[in-house]
A and B are shown apart, each in its own frame.
Chain A
Amino acid sequence: MNGVIAIYIFMLAAFTGYEVISRVPVILHTPLMSGSNFVHGIVLVGAMVALFNAHGMLELSIGFVGVILAAGNAVGGYVVTERMLEMFKSSNKKAPAGGHH
């Protein structure tokens, strides 16, 4: 992947992120922050590759810590987001509460 293509990807991904989030209602902001926190847990695959290719004590140690941290990001991000979103329920089966709207 050369630099120019990388810049295209950077730019398109940035627009995508902006567009996807711009329609999110306030009530989902915390779960969404948590969800996007989970998504950058993809750093795990990078940390894994870095550790696969590490040589010597220093690189191995840093790589090892990196994978621990990245796995924490991915798993923790998933668990708390899932717990929050699990609770969202609608009352649309009942009559609208209070009859407004």
Chain B
Amino acid sequence: MSSLNSGLAAGIVQAAYILVAALFIMGLKRMSSPSTARGGILWAGMGMVIATLVTYLLGDFNLNLALVLIATAVGGGFAWWTGKRVAMTDMPQMIALYNGMGGGAAAAIAAVELYRGPTESPVFGTLAVLGGLIGAVSFSGSGIAFGKLQGLIKKSFRFGGQQFVNMLLLAIAVALGAMIATGMNTSPAVVTAFFVLALVLGVTMTLPIGGADMPVVISLYNALTGLAVAFEGFVLQNAAMIIAGMVVGSAGTLLTQLMAKAMNRSLGNVLFSGFGESSSAASGPVTGSMKSIEAADAGVMMAYAQKVIIVPGYGMAVGQAQHKVWELAQLLQNNGVAVKFAIHPVAGRMPGHMNVLLAEAGVPYDIIADLEEINAEFETSDVALIIGANDVVNPVARNDKSSPIYGMPILNADKAKNVIVIKRGQGQGFSGIENALFFLDNTRMLYGDAQGAVNQLIQGVKSSG
């Protein structure tokens, strides 16, 4: 391309990037309401297509262009194929995987810049190094998060002084990064050591974190990737990357805080205490005994109720029971029963995960209520049906100061006149804490997997009418 043409192309690209940034922001804005959310992702998607297409104007007809085309097809094809096939219950780890890929890409951009030798100025160097560090940590950390949620990594690796080792790794990485950024030493060996340390840090930071805390971690890495993209955007003087990356960086940080708050955990707690998987939690004495109920009796109880609140949890997701649950709810509605769904902010494995599963089954979102909306209604409901939820309905969070989950906001299912709990067995919740709700006088246990038990309930309701 001649210099005039390339100048023109660069102008077109810059103008298009402004449009792209606007489309992203408006898209995210539309995603903030259920009725416009679908349109929101389409707007953002349009922005991405425009951004990608105009960027091809910057390439020359050479090997590099061919490589870009091949790599886009390979990466895009892989993600399209996996994204279309993944089950709704496995969404959290797929988000982790794709997010990690973005972090890795940001680190790769930094690596290409830094292997080239000293950067234009220490400011460019610093941002390239920071973006590279954050991107690499997000890449390997998200990979571990994916492995854990996918069940590929079952253990949490912890050893004494782990945090000290992490801090040491970070300190060395930062020191190397400072040498590179200031141009003191930009030899390939130093750059390589810097990236290897960053990748190792992502692994050692994430391995000790338990499965229950993973949503918060994935959200954090999502925000970090956004930051890394923004920093590399500055290095490349690319406004679309700066704006989109920074918007995601701050939005992701807010989302991370909201999640941690919903779990009554501080971010520092999540990252450094490793509670998410401990089963040694000391719990206060729980009195009473668990009383079981037959599905037929439970069905009758619900069929003649005026108001039923259904509390779905991860057990419903694992049992793929959301379609059956909606069938049950419709059956009850036809019997004149008022049915609502109560969703705890961290039900499932991510905030909003349960809503997605219920939406998949066809449950309209206006009978789905969140914690603040529904908690006062339990007192006036005849039956609270708990399907595979545990810690989020445990009343010890309200009244047992010694409990690790004390202070966590819970759904007040225990205030309902009757509580029916569908549960696989007599084990404890994800946090390993005994659930006082199961021992209350107004609680009946219906043992079985979510799918089978709900099926029995449907039969029970049908035969009672």
Q: From residue A59, how far is it (CB to closest CB) to chain B in Å?
A: 5
Chain B hits for A85, CB < 8 A: 31, 37-38, 40-41
B121 to chain A: closest residue by CB: A3
Docked Cα-Cα span, A51 to B392, in Å, equals: 48
Listed residue (B115, B116, B240, B352) with the most chain A CB atoms within 10 angstroms of its CB: B352
Docked Cα-Cα span, A63 to B113, in Å, equals: 10
Select B364's contact among A24, A36, A51, A89, beta carbons within 8 Å. A89
Question: Do A10 and B105 form a contact, CB below 8 Å, given A45-B240, A46-B236, A80-B86?
Answer: no
Q: How many A-B residue pairs have CB under 8 A?
A: 412
Contact B366 A91 (CB under 8 A): yes
A-contact 0/1 string along B58-100, CB 8 Å cutoff: 1110011101101111111111101110101001101101110
A-contact 0/1 string along B19-32, CB 8 Å cutoff: 01000110111011
Tell yes or no: B34 within 8 A of A by CB. Answer: yes
Chain B hits for A87, CB < 8 A: 356, 359-360, 362
Docked Cα-Cα span, A64 to B243, in Å, equals: 24
Listed residue (A39, A52, A63) with the most chain B CB atoms within 10 angstroms of its CB: A39
Contact A14 B112 (CB under 8 A): no
B-contact 0/1 string along A13-38, CB 8 Å cutoff: 11111101111111111111111111
Chain A interface size band reads 35 or more
Chain B interface size band reads 35 or more
Contact B356 A84 (CB under 8 A): yes
Question: Do A30 and B112 form a contact, CB below 8 Å, given A42-B241, A45-B241?
Answer: no
Chain B hits for A83, CB < 8 A: 83-84, 88
Docked Cα-Cα span, A36 to B241, in Å, equals: 13
Chain A hits for B364, CB < 8 A: 89-92, 94, 97
Docked Cα-Cα span, A50 to B139, in Å, equals: 18
Tell yes or no: B170 within 8 A of A by CB. Answer: no
Contact B365 A27 (CB under 8 A): yes
Docked Cα-Cα span, A69 to B97, in Å, equals: 10
A-contact 0/1 string along B204-245, CB 8 Å cutoff: 000000000000001100100110011011101111111111
Contact B25 A20 (CB under 8 A): yes
Chain B hits for A42, CB < 8 A: 20, 24, 48, 51, 229, 240-241, 244-245
Tell yes or no: B5 within 8 A of A by CB. Answer: no
Contact B41 A64 (CB under 8 A): no
Would you list which residues of chain B between 88 and 131 have a CB under 8 Å from chain A? 88, 91-92, 94-95, 97-99, 101-102, 104-109, 111-113, 115-116, 123
Contact A90 B254 (CB under 8 A): no
Contact A66 B250 (CB under 8 A): no
Chain A hits for B28, CB < 8 A: 17, 20-21, 32, 35-36, 39
Contact A74 B106 (CB under 8 A): no
Docked Cα-Cα span, A77 to B29, in Å, equals: 17
Question: Do A72 and B76 form a contact, CB below 8 Å, given A24-B31, A32-B31, A36-B28?
Answer: yes
Contact B108 A48 (CB under 8 A): no
Would you list which residues of chain B between 1 and 54 have a CB under 8 Å from chain A? 17, 20, 24-25, 27-29, 31-35, 37-38, 40-42, 44-45, 48, 51-52
Chain A hits for B218, CB < 8 A: 33
Tell yes or no: B173 within 8 A of A by CB. Answer: no
Docked Cα-Cα span, A32 to B237, in Å, equals: 27
Contact A76 B34 (CB under 8 A): no
Chain A hits for B108, CB < 8 A: 47, 50, 62-63, 65-66, 69-70
A35 to chain B: closest residue by CB: B31
Looking at B338-346, B428-436, B452-460, the stretch in contact with chain A turns out to be B338-346
Chain B hits for A30, CB < 8 A: 91-92, 95, 350-353, 355-356
Select B78's contact among A20, A72, A90, beta carbons within 8 Å. A72
Would you list which residues of chain B between 353 and 396 have a CB under 8 Å from chain A? 353, 355-356, 359-360, 362, 364-368, 370-371, 377
Known: A27-B34, A63-B108. 17 other contacts (CB 8 A): A1-B239, A13-B250, A33-B255, A33-B350, A45-B51, A50-B113, A50-B236, A53-B64, A59-B116, A67-B71, A74-B52, A76-B83, A78-B48, A88-B34, A88-B38, A90-B365, A98-B338
B interface with A by C-beta (< 8 Å)? 17, 20, 24-25, 27-29, 31-35, 37-38, 40-42, 44-45, 48, 51-52, 55-56, 58-60, 63-65, 67-68, 70-80, 82-84, 86, 88, 91-92, 94-95, 97-99, 101-102, 104-109, 111-113, 115-116, 123, 139, 188, 218-219, 222, 225-226, 229-230, 232-234, 236-252, 254-255, 258-259, 262, 307, 333, 337-340, 343, 345, 350-353, 355-356, 359-360, 362, 364-368, 370-371, 377
A sample of 25 inter-chain contacts (CB < 8 A) reads A22-B254, A23-B32, A26-B343, A26-B351, A27-B368, A29-B350, A30-B351, A32-B251, A38-B41, A40-B222, A42-B244, A45-B17, A45-B55, A46-B105, A49-B58, A59-B115, A65-B71, A71-B79, A72-B79, A77-B102, A79-B80, A85-B38, A97-B333, A98-B333, A98-B338
**9 smallest beta-carbon distances between A and B, as pairs:** A98-B338, A66-B108, A91-B364, A71-B75, A79-B83, A76-B79, A73-B102, A13-B246, A70-B105
